Amino acid sequence: MPETLEERVIRVIAKAQHIPREAVSTDSKFEDLNIDSLDGLQILFALEEEFNINIPDDAGQRIRSVRQAVDGVAALVEGTGESVNMQ
């Protein structure tokens, strides 16, 4: 069974942070995972590569949780990136 978009985002975040996949959930906040702004940039680059998308800088700076990352990636993958609200 193929991974869902949510599972892929979680896998990318876990891999980029070198933390167990089980430690990351959709409800995880970056602060709770000890993800700082530099780590957040690395995650954004990894997500862009994984999904072949371009996350706008201003939107990327507002991502503070796994759910926001999932929702933002989903919007970009679906082609509605212009109206992405990643707050």
Residue 3 gets which letter from DSSP? P
- 27, 32, 36, 57: the catalytic one is 36
Residue 27 gets which letter from DSSP? T
Nearest Cα to 48, choosing from 22, 84, 23, 73?
A: 73
- Helix, strand, coil share (%) of the chain residues, nearest 5: 60, 0, 35
Beta pairing partners, 65? 29
Whether 27 is catalytic is no
> Known catalytic residues?
36
